[in-house]
């Protein structure tokens, strides 16, 4: 038989929880039980990997110290890791004995938290040790208290040996309802690997950087695709509306507020070319919004009207600007 003891306190010399679990370990040793004690405060950087240590255990002791409120952060992290990465099939066969000693108020609430958490994980419960300690020295010297602690350790041994049955608990129903909705089904090996990666700060940092890089890349691709679609629509609109005008030639540059690059229209004697990008020989520069340009290409507004109302501004030869309505005759949608 093997029992793991998970101590969630800070390791202070006057912590009564340490005295209780040491006394229980002495009893279990006498009963020839293999005991492994794990101090969570010493494993704080790798708590996510600790559910792996459950695989060889027949039962566990969860020992918490209430110094001001609740079971403490280390124990909470360990229980979180059990929920995320623990082998639920193994946990269902394991007995958990809570040990909660308090130097302030709240030991009963903390014990209930441990019991509820383990039942939600699907595990079995063994009657634990819970108490308030005002004076650590008096507590350790009290023979009656020692006898109670020893009896509790013996009870854990008998419970595991005889595989005592627990009455059903409503907390256990959470595993088959809420747990299924939110838990990722992983094999024990996958859970072990994932918990190792989570505990590796450098690995997690690299993963976050990779995710950010991929997000930026895909965002850029989407923006580029969106821009290209708009370019194709503009190009198609101007190509369809183009009406050659004899010997006239000009290069129009449209600076569209929503776009990062200018949209150029190169008009030759009998042809037109549209594209996004730089051009050093533009004859006229036009500043316009996409919404106004859409109104023009859909036939709801003319270039002249947009210019007269101030919704479009230009810099260059006004005669060239005026030719736009003659060169491009857009049909009303």
Q: Where are the domains of the chain?
A: 2-199, 227-327
**pLDDT tens sequence for the chain (333 residues):** 999 999 999 999 899 999 999 999 999 999 999 999 999 999 988 899 999 999 999 999 999 999 998 999 999 999 999 999 899 899 999 999 999 999 999 999 999 999 999 999 999 999 999 999 999 999 999 999 999 999 999 999 999 999 998 888 777 666 666 655 444 555 656 665 666 665 566 666 777 777 777 777 766 555 555 555 555 788 888 888 898 887 889 999 999 988 888 999 999 888 899 988 888 788 999 999 999 999 999 999 999 999 988 899 998 888 898 899 999 998 876
* Cα–Cα distance measured from residue 333 to residue 328, given in angstroms and rounded to the nearest whole number: 15
| pLDDT at site 183 | 46
List of long-range contacts for 316-324, beta carbons under 8 Å, 24+ apart:
316/282, 316/283, 316/284, 316/285, 317/283, 317/284, 320/250, 320/252, 320/283, 320/284, 321/284, 321/286, 323/245, 323/248, 323/250, 324/252
pLDDT tens digits, 198-212:
556 666 677 777 777
The separation between CA 329 and the C-alpha centre of its own chain, rounded to angstroms, equals 54
* CA proximity to 281, closest of 271, 295, 267, 270: 267
2-199 and 227-327 share one fold: no
Which residue's structure tokens are 């959470």? 174
| pLDDT at site 193 | 64
Assign domain 2-199 one CATH number from 1.10.357.10, 3.30.230.10, 3.40.50.360, 1.10.3720.10: 3.40.50.360
| pLDDT at site 296 | 92
Backbone angles phi, psi at 33, to 5 degrees: -95, 130
Q: Which class in CATH covers the domain with range 227-327?
A: alpha beta
* Cα–Cα distance measured from residue 267 to residue 265, given in angstroms and rounded to the nearest whole number: 6
Give the CA radius of gyration of the chain. Answer: 37
Work out whether strand 263-267 and strand 272-276 pair parallel, antiparallel, or are unpaired.
antiparallel
This model's pTM is above 0.85: no
User: According to DSSP H, which parts of the chain are helical?
Assistant: 16-30, 73-85, 88-91, 107-121, 136-141, 143-162, 173-176, 178-182, 188-199, 201-241, 290-297, 303-308, 318-322, 324-327
**Residue 279 structure tokens:** 């051009």
* Cα–Cα distance measured from residue 97 to residue 80, given in angstroms and rounded to the nearest whole number: 18
Q: Are 325 and 293 in contact (CB under 8 A)?
A: no
| pLDDT at site 187 | 60
Residue 330 CB coordination number (10 Å): 19
Write the CB contacts of 84 (distance below 8 Å, at least 6 apart in sequence): 48, 195, 198
| pLDDT at site 269 | 85
Query: Which neighbouring-strand residues pair with 99?
Result: 63, 129
Q: Are 19 and 69 in contact (CB under 8 A)?
A: no
* CA proximity to 199, closest of 47, 39, 75: 47
pLDDT tens digits, 257-298:
888 889 999 998 888 999 888 887 889 999 999 999 999 999
| pLDDT at site 166 | 85
């Amino acid at each position: 038989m093997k029992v793991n003891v998970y101590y969630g306190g800070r390791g202070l010399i006057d912590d009564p929880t340490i005295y209780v679990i040491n006394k229980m370990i002495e009893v279990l040793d006498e009963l020839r039980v293999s005991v492994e004690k794990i101090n969570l405060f010493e494993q704080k950087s790798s708590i996510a990997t600790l559910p792996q240590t459950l695989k060889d255990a027949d039962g566990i002791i969860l020992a918490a110290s209430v110094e001001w409120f609740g079971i403490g952060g280390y124990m909470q992290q360990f229980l979180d890791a059990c929920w995320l990465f623990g082998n639920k099939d193994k946990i269902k066969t394991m007995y958990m004995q809570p040990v909660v000693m308090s130097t302030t108020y709240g030991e009963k609430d903390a014990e209930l938290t441990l019991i509820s958490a383990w039942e939600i994980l699907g595990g079995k419960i063994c009657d634990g040790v819970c108490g308030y300690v005002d004076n650590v020295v008096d507590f350790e010297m009290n023979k009656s208290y020692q006898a109670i602690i020893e009896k509790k350790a013996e009870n854990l041994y008998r419970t595991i040996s005889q595989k005592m049955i627990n009455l059903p608990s409503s907390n256990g129903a959470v595993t088959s309802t809420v747990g299924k909705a939110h838990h990722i089904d992983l094999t024990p090996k996958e859970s072990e690997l994932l918990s190792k990666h989570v505990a590796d700060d450098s690995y997690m940092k690299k993963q976050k950087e990779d995710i950010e890089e991929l997000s930026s890349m895909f965002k850029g691709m989407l923006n580029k695709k969106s821009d290209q679609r708009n370019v194709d629509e503009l190009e198609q609109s101007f190509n369809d509306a183009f009406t050659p005008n004899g010997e006239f030639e000009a290069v129009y540059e449209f600076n569209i507020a929503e776009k990062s690059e200018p949209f150029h229209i190169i008009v030759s004697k009998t042809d037109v070319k549209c594209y996004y990008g730089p051009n050093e020989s533009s004859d006229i520069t036009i500043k316009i919004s996409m919404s106004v340009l859409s109104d023009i290409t859909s036939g709801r507004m003319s270039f002249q009207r947009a210019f007269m109302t101030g919704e479009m501004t230009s810099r260059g030869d006004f005669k060239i600007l005026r030719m736009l309505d003659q060169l491009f005759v857009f049909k009303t949608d």
